[in-house]
Amino acid sequence: MTVPMSYYLVLSGLVFLIGLVGVLTRRNIIIILLSIELMLNATNINFVAFSAYLGNVAGQVFVFFALTVAAAEVAVGLAIIIALYRHQSSINVDDFRLLRW
Amino acid sequence: MTLPLADLLTILPELLIVGAACLLLVLDPVMPPAKKSLLAWMSLGTLVLCFFISASSMNDRVFAFSDLVVVDPYASFWKLLLYLVSALTILLSMTYLKEERIDLAEYYGFILLSLVGMMVMVSAADLLTIYLGIELMSISLYIMVGFKRFEGKSIEASAKYFILGAFSSGILLYGISLLYGIGGSTRLSEISAVVTSRGGDDPLVLIALMLVIVGFGFKVAAVPFHMWTPDVYHGAPTSVTAFMAVASKAASFGALLRVLLEGFGGVKPNWNGIIFAMCLVTLGFGNLVAIVQTNIKRMLAYSSIAHAGYALIGLVVAGQAGAESAVASQGVSSIMLYLAIYSFMTVGAFAIVAIVRRSGVEGEELEDFTGLAKRHKGAAFLMMVFMVSLAGIPPTAGFIGKFYLFMAAVNAGLTWLAVIGLIFAAVSAFYYLRVVMVMYMREPSASQESETRLALTPATAIVLACAIAGVVFLGLYPAPLVSVTQSAVLPF
Amino acid sequence: MMELLVILIPVFPLVAVLLNGLLGHRYSHDLAGRIAFGAVGLSFVCALMVFGHMLTTGAAYEVIAYSWIFGGELMVNLGFLIDPLTTIMLLVVTGVGFLIHVYSVGYMHGEEGFTRFFTYMNLFMVSMLLLVMGNNYLVLFIGWEGVGLCSYLLIGYYFDKVSAAKAASKAFVVNRIGDAGFLMAIFLVFANFQTLDYTKVFEQVGQLSTGTATAIALCLLVGAVGKSAQIPLYTWLPDAMEGPTPVSALIHAATMVTAGVYMVVRNHAIFDMAPMALTTVGWIGGITALFAASIGLVQNDIKRVLAYSTVSQLGYMFLACGIGAYTAAIFHLMTHAFFKALLFLSAGAVIHSLGGEQDIRKMGGLHSKIPMTYKVFLVGTLAIAGIPPLAGFWSKDEIMAHAFIHAHYGLYLLAAIGAFLTAFYMFRLTYVTFYGQSRMDPDVEHHVHESPGIMMKPLLVLAGLSVVGGFVGFPPEHGWFHGYLAKVATPVGALPHVVSLSLLLGLMSVAIAIALGGWGLAHYLYAVRPQAADDLATRVPGIYATLLNKYYVDEGYDRIIVEPCKRLGLIWDWLDRQIIDRCVRGIGHMTDVSACWITWTEKHVVYAGLNVIGYGNHLIAWSWRKLQTGMVHHYAAVIVVGFFLLVHVLLLWLTGASIL
């Protein structure tokens, strides 16, 4: 029995939305980072599902690139968070309001 | 599998710059501090070399790596512009970093890496390469924005840029994954075929299109995806701000035009309305909010938003359904011209902000410029010319850029879009001229006179000379640049 | 040979700009001044030679410096068109400009920013010359913006005066409104003719439909109204008097403000196709002429009286254009340049000798103390009031006669009343300033002195021109001037008309009577019975206050445009914070993913609707700025909301509904 394509799409849509809402609602910058990772992983589900469905490896290749880029992004992101924490002693995004207006 | 040599030669400039960047990062720890400026000169040398390579292949049209990459006149034009802007940024940074005591050679490595990302963006023929280019550019920029790591503002800007940038590329990537699902490929040419055959009413196509526009809208700082711009431009080191405002905007426009016109060329009516709406709100928002800014960097950030709005006019023209191809290519070439001109004046303005220093801090508040004309005539005069040019007053280059854009709009029958542009250009004079007024018509306080000095070195002098030469020369004799942009438009 | 001369005309001042601007701090003020007026003098010589050549050949020609913009259908040269109209303008600009430059050397002597002043002045000359010489709309536009910019810099010349900076900004912003109209006209011209060259445009002008011609003409008129300070965009000119007096004379009287008139005359072929636009021009001019003159009646600042008088005289020129009397418009432009420059400069000499005093209530009795200044000022007054045979009489009479003969009786009436008021306020100014008891501070009075020779000589030349300048247009309608300009300033399709000599003489005597009447009234009120004027003011306080406050137009603009905007801004600011905050908080509480999805799809319509209204009305920058909360998740929320908004726009677009 195969799982229909639409299941994958719904799954990835839900994961993407969970990530999106997480970015909007969470205040802890690490959780926001994780939420962004969820969004990226939702796209990876999409790519793999489409790839299997279409019988075309290009999507899986894309996933490798996306994973690598995400890893690099997280590395830089965590470094920024550490610098920020040293400065503000907080990782709550509500505290970062030096720049506004 | 082996890589064919021809493919590698096609991306020779990118390889050279990556090589230079890696070399920089390796050499940085072993170089004695006194000789570190050598590294900056080395990166400049690489840029000059690449400039000649790209200029010599200006008229070629080559696909490489099984159509992942294309080097055509359009890509070469953007690359030449990007080399120039990067070189100016490096020159400016050499002085600026010393003044701010963040003189680390790895900075130049990040500029080069970011530049490679931009180059990949403009010569990508596949969504995969576009995505890689965007990420390479952005990740380097996240770091550069936070380069003043002892300063709260800089780190905060970096964090905001990072979160929002990653968020927007997540959205873009989701759009790309849907497009892959529709077309079975991420090649722009194949996507174009599928999109055209499925038509504009397919909801999947529409959603993917929208997600892609959001992703790029963020990068070019178009309203309503602009919110990061003022904060990040304000917090970042000024040399980085200049680089972002010019190079990353140019590269993003380069990629956006290619994606929309080549990938989604078959469904122009579907995106043209959106771009139109974005163009209007961007013009309005950027220009009106700039009026109430008191910090020059923030003011220039809003001005850069407004300029993205002007450039979008050209995209509306190019995407006009049923427009003749001559008119459409006029739209594209006027964007290229506009952004090239915009580069000169914006780099110039930021350079002035970076070198006018008051009590050891850069002069980023409007108040720091009070009566500048009395003490530093030259700097005040240059700033005036840049402001006048940004406001689009002839005979500076800024006028030529706006003139071509509005002319393209009138030719495409979008007369009242041109009228709106004109009105906002008139409004913009208000905030640009306020800088001139502060410099020329206010008496500086005594402490201010003694506190203000110019960080004028040969390197910054070269930057200012290039910027002013560009603004004046392109205003008086724009013909050569115009013909280059017209011969380098995307094929329609 | 001629081509070289033509190109040299703007090049001389340009060289002076570069010299003084770049190296001016290296050498003395003396040399800087000499370079500045020398350059303009050389331009004047060249202009004279070009004029002489034009006299002998009479053929218009074009000189192309280089091709400036091209690409596609667009081809614009940096080129000059030399025809009779251009040569007249050249002579006026360089001639009067030269005299004012010479005068400025004396007037600005010892000022700290001496070199800066002359750099701007020369830059102004370059722009003004491009404006009058250009052979296409774009070169005209460069000059147009250039003079605006120089005017801006020169009005704000005095660092320490806050009012000067404000006046400069006001002038620039008001002018930008006009410029937007002008630029629109340029785009329309290009869209219709595929070229921007005058000659090619005017050749094809017959193909225009009346509607298009009217649209172009009205856009041009918006530009002209802004630059030439006509109703409703005139408020910047009186404020512009904050600049140094030579600037007021050169820019805000003799040259720049007449650019609008020049532009209308240059484009008369288009205006002739659009009778409606032409009528508008005439009435704007006529009403402005009367309106500004009435304000001039009661002003107490010597320069402000002259400023309102300038607005009023420009009104006469517009009136002349509106009734097709283009030659008369240019004629009046020329004589006005002579006598208004004279009046401003001699007013400057008065201010100079009183150590900076501009209020005429603190003057009086000066005619014996500075007799030379008094005499030249009197000549200017006689000329502007229209006393024959001075210059102003001929040109103003011609405009009024033309209005009467061509049956524009309403405009004639406006012009006639305006002429009476002109004579009155100018003689009032003369009497109050130069006659009666001295009302000066004793220590000021002690220092009153005649101005130095370098300032007086240009005054004498201008006085001479104000006396004889009118004879080039004698006899009326058939003078040398009219023949010279016939080719370029005759309305399309104008019929030759025969007017009886008696009618002409009759109109002339009416004009003389009006001028003498104004003089007589001023004489009675300010010389014979000095108390009468004050009595009059106290008897009709309402009218007096209204006039003194310039009909409250500035206050009205504030109350009608500026204040409501601010108030609206505050309201929207509040609403905005409420909506944005609520929404963001609302999203925060939606932790249940499925509920979130449903709520969003349901709500985004409402949400987007609210925002469309919010954003649409949100034209006030301040409240926009408050959107920038500094909070990352707010920004992210705006991105998401923006996405839904765009989907919205897209759906509306696709379903064919107009979003606009």
Task: For chain B, give every domain's residue range.
Answer: 7-487
pLDDT at B467: 95
Give the rounded percent of residues in chain B with a pLDDT score beyond 70. 99
Q: Residue B379 — left, alpha, or beta (φ > 0 → left; ψ -120 to 50 → alpha)?
A: alpha
SS3 state at B124: strand
Under the banding of pLDDT at 50, 70 and 90, the label for residue C237 is confident
Distance CA B402, CA B424 (A): 11
Residues 351-370 of B with CB under 8 A from A: none
Give the number of A-C residue pairs with CB atoms closer than 8 Å: 48
Of B159, B170, B184, the CB nearest to A84: B159
Mutation target vs C (from A16, A21, A39, A93; most C CBs, 10 A cutoff): A21
Question: Which member of C156, C636, C643 has the closest CB to residue B441?
Answer: C156
User: Over the stretch B53-68, which tens digit does the pLDDT of each residue have?
Assistant: 999 988 888 888 888 9
Cα-Cα-Cα-Cα torsion C478, C482, C483, C488, nearest 10 degrees, comes to -150
Q: Which residues contact A48 (CB under 8 A, 6 or more apart)?
A: A59, A60, A63
Q: Please give the average per-residue pLDDT across B126-147, as a whole number.
A: 95
Question: What are the helix (H) ranges across B249-324?
Answer: 249-258, 268-291, 296-318
Q: Which residues of C touch B393 (CB under 8 A)?
A: 145, 149
Quote the number of domains for chain A: 1
Per-residue pLDDT at C68 = 76
Sign of the Cα torsion C133, C136, C140, C142 reads negative
Say what the pLDDT of residue B389 is.
94
Contact at 8 Å (CB) between C394 and C387? no
The radius of gyration computed from the CA coordinates of chain B, to the nearest angstrom, equals: 22
Q: Is A56 on the interface with B (CB under 8 A)?
A: yes
pLDDT digits over C238-260, tens only?
888 888 888 888 888 888 889 99
Using a CB-CB distance cutoff of 8 angstroms, which residues of chain C are in contact with residue A17?
593, 596-597
Q: Is B139 helix (H, G, I), strand (E, B) or coil?
A: helix
pLDDT of residue C588 exceeding 60, the answer is no
A100 falls within a domain: no
Tell me how many degrees the CA angle C61-C63-C68 measures, rounded to the nearest 5. 135
**Per-residue confidence at B111, pLDDT binned at 50, 70, 90?**
very high
Tokens 């701000």 sit at which residue? B241
Q: Which residues of B touch C636 (CB under 8 A)?
A: 163-164, 167
Is A98 among the domain residues?
no
In C, minimum Cα distance to B387 occurs at: C149
Mark yes or no for CB contact C631/A94 under 8 Å.
Answer: yes
- Phi, psi for residue B101 in degrees, rounded to 5: 55, 45
* Neighbours, chain B (3 or more CB pairs < 8 A): A, C
Within-domain flag for A25: yes
pLDDT band for position B326 (cuts 50, 70, 90): confident
Burial class (CB in 10 A: 0-12, 13-18, 19+), C495: exposed
Sign for the CA dihedral angle at C205, C209, C210, C211 comes to negative
Q: What is the pLDDT of residues C538-550, one digit of tens each?
A: 777 777 777 777 7
In which band, very low, low, confident or very high, does the pLDDT at C564 lie, cut at 50, 70 and 90? low
Give residue B282's Cα distance to chain centre: 16
pLDDT digits 0-9 by tens, C255-308: 888 999 999 999 988 888 888 888 999 999 999 998 888 888 888 888 888 999
List alpha helices for A1-101, DSSP H.
5-25, 29-54, 58-88
pLDDT band at C360 (very low <50, low <70, confident <90, very high): confident
Tens digit of each residue's pLDDT (9 = 90 or more) over B175-221: 999 999 988 889 999 999 998 888 777 888 888 998 999 999 999 99
Instruction: Report the greatest alpha carbon distance in chain A.
Output: 57
Strand pairing partners for C442? none
Q: What pLDDT, on the 0 to 100 scale, is given for residue C521?
A: 86
DSSP C386: T
The verdict on A61 touching B (C-beta cutoff 8 Å) is yes
CA B365 vs CA B96, B240, B246: distances in Å: 17, 18, 21
Confidence at residue C70, expressed as pLDDT on a 0 to 100 scale? 67
- % of chain C beyond a pLDDT of 90: 16
Q: Do B374 and C628 touch (CB under 8 A)?
A: no
Q: Does B166 touch chain A (CB under 8 A)?
A: yes
Residue A99 included in any domain: no
pLDDT at C569 over 90: no
C607 CA to chain B: closest CA distance, Å?
15
- Is 50 exceeded by the pLDDT of residue C593? no
Least confident of B20-29, C527-536, C608-617: C608-617
What is the mean predicted confidence (pLDDT) over C70-89?
81
φ/ψ (deg, to 5) at C77: -100, 155
Q: What is the pLDDT of residue B53?
A: 93
* DSSP codes of every residue in C9-71: HHHHHHHHHHIIIIIGGGS-HHHHHHHHHHHHHHHHHHHHHHHHHHHHH---EEEEEEEEEEE
pLDDT of residue C616: 41
Residue C335 — pLDDT band, cuts 50, 70, 90? very high
pLDDT at C562: 57
Q: Examine residue A79 and state whether it is found in any structural domain, yes or no.
A: yes
**In a domain? residue A101:** no
pTM: 0.86
pLDDT for res C624: 54
Q: How far apart are CA C642 and CA C656, in angstroms?
A: 21
Residue C625's pLDDT is 58
Domain that holds residue A41: 5-93
Give, to the nearest 10 degrees, the angle between helix C632-654 and helix B152-183: 30
Residue B436's closest chain C neighbor by CA?
C153
| Chain B CA closest to residue A88 | B152
pLDDT above 90 (res A77) = yes
Q: Say if residue C628's pLDDT is above 90.
A: no
- Give the mutation candidate from C78, C112, C625, C658 for the B interface (greatest B CB count, under 10 A): C625
Calculate the CA dihedral of residues B6, B10, B11, B16 and round it to 10 degrees: 80
Mutate one of B128, B174, B179, B211 to test the A interface: name it (highest A CB count within 10 A): B174
CA distance A54 to chain C (A): 28
- Asked whether the predicted pLDDT for residue C429 surpasses 80, the reply is yes
Arithmetic mean of pLDDT over chain C: 80
Closest CA to B373 of C36, C147, C108, C158: C158
For residue A86, what is the domain's CATH number? 1.10.287.3510
Say whether pLDDT at C570 is over 60.
Answer: no
C-alpha C392/C-alpha C463 separation (Å) is 12
B33 or C494, higher pLDDT: B33
Q: What pLDDT is recorded for position C493?
A: 60
Percent of chain A with pLDDT over 90: 54
pLDDT at C492 over 70: no
Q: Which has the minimum average pLDDT: B267-276, B360-369, C307-316? A: B360-369
Average pLDDT of the segment spanning B233-256: 94
- What number is the average pLDDT over the span C513-521? 88
* Interface touch C184/B284, C-beta < 8 Å: no
Higher pLDDT, C594 or C198: C198
Is the CB of A62 less than 8 angstroms away from the CB of B180? yes
Q: What is the mean pLDDT of chain B?
A: 89
A57-66, B297-306, C27-36: lowest mean pLDDT where? C27-36
Hey, what's the torsion of the CAs at B431, C148, C188, C64, to 10 degrees? Answer: -130
Of B158-162, B364-368, C296-300, highest mean pLDDT: B158-162
Contact C311, C286 (CB under 8 A): no
